[in-house]
C-alpha cells in the first residue's frame, strides 16, 4: 500500500485529541469515534510540558496506538519571552553583520528621547561575515569561495554554537549560496537558512525570522522529539501561528511559525462556534492563567506578516492578535507611588494563585474572584480541585492593609484594574482595524474569560456576548477544527502591468507544488488539497503593501485601488507594484461537528450563594444541566468542568442548540 494511502486509512480510524499547553493549565478536547466530545484539564508542567500531556492522556484512558494528537505548543513562545534561546551564530555578507542590531531605528515609545539601551539580538562576536553576495537582480557580485567556507568552519568550531542562522542578501533570488554554507556546518548544529524560512524582500525582517527560527529551533525540536518518543505509536501534528497544522516531524525545523500556536487554535474555534450561532463579526478575548489574547474576526481570523513577539518583529504569517499580561494568575501589587497594579507578572502554574494551595502567597485575579464569590471553593473544575479560600483572603488582605481598606473592596479594585487593561486592548484592536466594538459580538474563552465577559462588554458599550461551548478549552477545540496547510511565499518585484502573466503563473505553480508535496508527505492526496493564490501590492515608492487575492493583473490592480481607498481614504494615479507572491495550500476540511443538545426540561438552579456586589442571592447552575433554549436572568453563576461564567445583574443568557451561552444586555 502506498505510504500516503496507509496514513490516510490509519488516521481515519484514529481518535482525535486536541491539546493546548498554557502557562497554568494544559487543556484537552477529545473527539471519539461516535463524534462525541470530552474535555479535560491538568496543571501544566512548564519545565517538561510533555509530562502534563501524558498525564492528561492517562486520565482520559486513551490508547496511544489509536490516537491522533493536534498540539498547540508554547515552547517556542516561552523560549522567546524568557530569553532562553540557544547559543546561535548569525552568518551574513561582509559589512552587514550589524543589520539585526541596527534594525529599523524605531523607538518603542515615540516620545522617549533617551530610551535605555537594549542588548542586541546577537552579540557582535557571534555575527560572522563571508562572501557570496548577490545583487538585487540576482547577479553574483562576490563569489563564495572555498577559502570563505574554510574560514567559516574554523570560526564555527571555535565558537561551538548550538545553532546557525544564515541570511545572505537577496538569497530569495538564488538559494544555492546559503545551501552551500548550510552544508558546510558541523554535524549536530541546527541550521536555519533565510531562503527557506522567509524567501522575501527585507533583509532585516528576513534575518530576524531566520535568527528566531535558529535561536529557539533546538528547544522546539528537542521538545517534539521527547513528546514523540513518549507518545510512541500516536500520530502528532502541531498548530502553526497561521492557524494551519503541520506534522510534528516537519514542525521541528520551523519553530518561528509556532510562536502563536495555542492562540491560533482559539481563533479557529471561535470562528466555528460563532458561525454556528449565526455571528461572523466577533471581538474575541482569550483569558488564561498568564495572559489575555484579543483579536478581531470578520468572517475569517485576520492574518498579518507585521506581527511581533517580545521586542522582535516576526514577518511570517500569523494570526493578528494583541497579547497583554492580564490573566487569572496575574499578580496585584503596589507601585512606588502606592498605585494598585495588576500584572504583567504572573503566579503561573507553580506556585499558582494563593488559593491553589501550592505555596503561592501573592494576591492574584483568581484570588480576588474567589474572595468576591464569583468562584466557589467547592465548584472549581467541577469540584475536581478544591480552592483554599482562607489563603486567598490572607493574600488579598495583606494588600488591603497596605491600601487601608477592606479585603472585599481591594478584590473589587483588582478586578476593575484587570478589566480596564483588557478593555483597552479590545478597544485598541477594534479601532486600529476600523471597526466599532458595538457592531460585534464579544466572545470570551479561556479558563478565566467567563468571569469577566459582562464587565468588558459594558466597558465597550457592547450589548451581545457569547461564552462558547467548551469555552474554557476552546483553543484545544480549535486544534481539532484546523486544517493542515502551508502558506508559502516568494518575492518577485515588478510593475504589475508589465510582469508577464506566464512568469507569475510559473511561480504560483512552483509554490503550489511545494505545498502539495509537503501535504502528500503527511498523507494527503492532491485531490484533498485546495489552493488560494494572493499577491502583496503597493504603489511605486511605498514601503508597505496590501495583500489581495490573485485574479489576474487587471482585476487585482483595480481591487488594490479599492482596498487602498477603503483602508487609507485615498487612491493614487501611479503604477501598482508587485512585491510578493503567496500560495496557501490546505488539506481537507476537518470533520468536526458539535453535537446538538437533546430537548429537555430547563435545568433548575443547584442552590444559591453570595457574590459581593450582586445585590442579593445568586443562583448557581450547572452548565451541562441547562436545556437548549433555556433563559437565565442575572445575577447567576454557571459552572462547568473547565470554567465558570459570571452573569452580572442586568444580563440574560440563552443556551443555543449546541450549548453556547448567548448573553444579551438588558
Measure the CA–CA gap between 171 and 166, rounded to whole angstroms. 10
With CA atoms as reference, report the closest residue to 377 among 639, 553, 613, 175.
639
The residue among 213 and 605 whose pLDDT is bigger is: 213
CATH topology of domain 485-586: Dna Ligase; domain 1 (3.30.1490)
Euclidean distance between the first and final Cα of the chain, in Å?
A: 61
Mean pLDDT to the nearest integer, 249-267:
89
Q: Do domains 3-80+221-258 and 81-220 have the same CATH topology?
A: no
Instruction: Write down the domain spans for the chain.
Output: 3-80+221-258, 81-220, 330-414, 485-586, 607-665
Residue 47, classified by CB atoms within 10 Å of its CB into exposed (0-12), middle (13-18) or buried (19+), is: exposed
Cα angle 86-89-93, degrees, rounded to a multiple of 5? 155
Measure the CA–CA gap between 351 and 530, rounded to whole angstroms. 46
Q: Check: CB of residue 50 under 8 Å from CB of residue 227.
A: yes
Q: How many helices (H) and strands (E) does the chain have?
A: 17, 35
pLDDT at 598: 78
Q: Check: CB of residue 486 under 8 Å from CB of residue 492.
A: no
pLDDT at 398: 93
Cell of residue 255, nine digits: 519553530
Least trusted range by pLDDT, from 343-352, 371-380, 461-470: 343-352
pLDDT at 9 over 50: no
**Start-end of H helices in 203-290:** 203-231, 248-251, 261-276
With CA atoms as reference, report the closest residue to 380 among 2, 43, 141.
43
With CA atoms as reference, report the closest residue to 307 among 215, 251, 241.
241
The residue among 323 and 495 whose pLDDT is bigger is: 495
Q: Which CATH class is domain 81-220?
A: alpha beta
**Start-end of H helices in 569-605:** none
Model-level pTM? Answer: 0.84
With CA atoms as reference, report the closest residue to 245 among 510, 57, 7, 518.
518
pLDDT digits (tens, 9 = 90+) for 176-198: 999 999 999 999 999 999 999 99
pLDDT at 175 over 90: yes
| Homologous superfamily, domain 3-80+221-258 | ATPase, nucleotide binding domain (3.30.420.40)
With CA atoms as reference, report the closest residue to 661 among 474, 491, 512.
474
Measure the CA–CA gap between 386 and 379, rounded to whole angstroms. 8
Strands 464-467 and 441-445: parallel
With CA atoms as reference, report the closest residue to 262 among 231, 229, 293, 300.
293
Q: Check: CB of residue 510 under 8 Å from CB of residue 502.
A: no
Strands 651-655 and 133-134: unpaired
pLDDT at 415: 96
Amino acid at each position: 500500500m502506498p505510504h500516503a494511502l496507509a496514513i490516510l486509512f490509519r488516521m481515519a480510524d484514529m481518535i482525535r485529541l486536541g491539546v493546548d499547553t498554557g502557562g497554568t493549565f494544559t487543556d484537552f478536547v477529545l473527539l471519539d469515534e461516535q463524534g462525541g466530545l470530552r474535555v479535560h484539564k491538568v496543571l501544566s508542567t512548564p519545565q517538561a510540558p510533555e509530562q502534563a500531556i501524558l498525564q492528561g492522556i492517562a486520565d482520559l484512558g486513551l490508547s496511544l496506538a489509536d490516537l491522533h494528537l493536534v498540539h498547540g505548543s508554547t515552547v517556542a513562545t516561552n523560549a522567546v519571552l524568557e530569553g532562553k534561546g540557544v547559543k546561535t551564530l548569525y552568518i551574513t555578507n561582509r559589512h552587514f553583520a550589524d543589520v539585526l542590531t541596527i534594525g529599523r531605528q524605531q523607538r518603542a515609545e515615540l516620545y522617549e528621547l533617551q530610551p535605555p539601551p537594549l542588548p542586541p539580538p546577537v552579540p557582535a562576536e557571534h555575527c560572522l561575515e563571508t562572501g557570496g553576495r548577490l545583487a538585487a537582480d540576482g547577479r553574483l557580485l562576490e563569489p563564495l569561495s572555498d577559502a570563505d567556507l574554510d574560514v567559516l568552519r574554523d570560526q564555527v568550531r571555535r565558537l561551538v554554537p548550538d545553532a546557525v542562522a544564515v541570511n545572505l542578501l537577496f538569497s530569495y533570488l538564488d538559494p544555492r549560496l546559503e545551501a552551500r554554507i548550510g552544508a558546510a556546518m558541523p554535524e549536530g548544529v541546527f541550521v536555519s537558512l533565510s531562503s527557506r524560512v522567509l524567501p522575501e524582500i527585507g533583509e532585516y525582517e528576513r534575518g530576524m525570522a531566520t535568527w528566531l527560527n535558529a535561536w529557539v529551533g533546538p528547544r522546539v525540536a528537542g521538545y517534539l522529539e521527547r513528546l514523540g518518543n513518549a507518545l510512541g505509536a500516536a500520530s502528532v501534528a502541531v498548530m502553526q501561528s497561521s492557524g494551519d497544522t503541520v506534522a510534528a516531524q516537519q514542525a521541528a525545523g520551523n519553530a518561528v511559525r509556532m510562536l502563536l500556536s495555542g492562540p491560533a487554535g482559539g481563533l479557529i474555534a471561535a470562528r466555528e462556534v460563532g458561525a454556528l450561532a449565526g455571528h461572523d463579526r466577533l471581538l474575541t478575548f482569550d483569558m488564561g492563567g498568564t495572559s489575555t489574547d484579543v483579536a478581531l474576526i470578520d468572517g475569517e481570523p485576520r492574518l498579518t506578516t507585521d506581527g511581533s513577539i517580545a521586542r522582535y518583529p516576526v514577518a511570517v504569517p500569523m494570526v493578528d492578535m494583541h497579547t497583554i499580561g492580564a490573566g487569572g494568575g496575574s499578580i496585584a501589587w503596589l507601585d512606588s507611588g502606592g498605585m494598585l497594579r495588576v500584572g504583567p507578572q504572573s503566579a503561573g502554574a507553580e506556585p499558582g494563585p494563593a488559593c491553589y494551595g501550592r505555596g503561592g502567597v501573592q494576591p492574584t485575579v483568581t484570588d480576588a474572584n474567589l474572595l468576591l464569590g464569583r468562584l466557589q471553593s467547592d465548584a472549581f473544575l467541577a469540584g475536581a480541585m478544591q480552592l483554599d479560600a482562607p489563603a486567598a483572603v490572607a493574600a488579598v488582605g495583606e494588600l488591603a492593609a497596605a491600601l487601608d481598606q477592606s479585603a472585599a473592596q481591594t478584590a473589587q479594585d483588582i478586578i476593575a484594574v484587570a478589566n480596564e487593561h483588557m478593555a483597552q486592548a479590545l478597544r485598541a484592536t477594534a479601532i486600529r482595524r476600523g471597526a466599532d466594538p458595538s457592531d460585534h459580538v464579544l466572545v470570551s474563552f479561556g479558563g478565566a474569560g467567563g468571569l469577566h465577559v459582562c464587565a468588558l462588554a459594558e466597558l465597550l458599550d457592547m450589548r451581545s456576548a457569547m461564552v462558547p461551548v467548551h469555552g474554557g478549552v476552546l483553543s484545544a477545540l480549535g486544534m481539532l477544527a484546523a486544517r493542515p496547510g502551508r502558506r508559502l511565499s516568494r518575492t518577485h518585484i515588478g510593475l504589475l502591468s508589465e510582469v508577464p502573466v506566464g512568469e507569475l503563473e510559473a511561480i504560483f505553480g512552483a509554490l503550489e507544488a511545494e505545498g502539495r508535496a509537503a501535504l502528500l508527505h503527511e498523507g494527503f492526496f492532491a485531490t484533498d488539497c485546495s489552493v488560494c493564490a494572493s499577491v502583496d501590492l503597493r504603489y511605486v515608492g511605498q514601503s508597505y503593501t496590501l495583500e489581495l487575492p490573485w485574479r489576474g493583473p487587471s482585476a487585482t490592480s483595480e481591487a488594490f485601488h479599492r482596498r487602498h481607498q477603503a483602508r487609507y481614504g485615498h487612491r493614487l494615479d501611479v503604477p501598482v507594484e508587485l512585491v510578493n507572491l503567496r500560495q496557501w495550500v490546505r488539506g481537507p476540511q476537518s470533520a468536526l461537528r458539535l453535537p446538538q443538545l437533546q430537548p429537555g426540561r430547563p435545568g433548575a438552579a443547584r442552590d444559591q450563594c453570595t457574590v459581593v456586589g450582586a445585590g442579593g442571592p445568586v443562583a448557581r447552575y450547572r452548565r451541562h444541566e441547562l436545556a437548549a433554549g433555556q433563559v437565565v436572568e442575572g445575577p447567576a453563576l454557571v459552572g462547568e468542568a473547565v470554567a465558570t461564567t459570571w452573569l452580572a445583574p442586568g444580563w440574560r443568557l440563552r443556551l443555543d442548540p449546541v450549548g453556547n451561552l448567548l448573553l444579551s444586555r438588558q
